Amino acid sequence: MTITEHPSDRPSGWDWRHEGSCRGTDTATFFSPDDREQRTVRTRRERRAKQICQDCPVLRECRTHALTAAEHHGIWGGMSETERARLGRRRHTHRCAP
């Protein structure tokens, strides 16, 4: 499976996805095939995905979407699930601080 979509399948406001460097890339690069993925395999896969994201013209839009929509899986905007969760916890802590 590759990351593609028909223009009529895109919700409004998601036009940025059409410009992503990931377009046409196997989704397995960005999303774990299952929960039993070995750590070393996961690290290599995530590194490959982040390399694709590195120079993406819509990295900011992708990352903003992932953080706003609280995407729980995959590499979005060059960030893993763990990195997004960590950032979310930091933001929550800063908002709740007296």
Taking Cα atoms as reference points, which of 11, 95, 26, 17 lies closest to residue 63?
17
Q: Enter the tokens of residue 90.
A: 């930091």
3 state SS of 56:
coil
DSSP state of 72: -
How many CB atoms neighbour CB 44 within 10 A? Answer: 11
- N-terminal to C-terminal alpha carbon distance within the chain: 48
Question: Is 96 assigned a ligand-binding role in the annotation?
Answer: no
Residue numbers belonging to the annotated binding site:
22, 53, 56, 62
Residue numbers belonging to the annotated binding site for [4Fe-4S] cluster:
22, 53, 56, 62
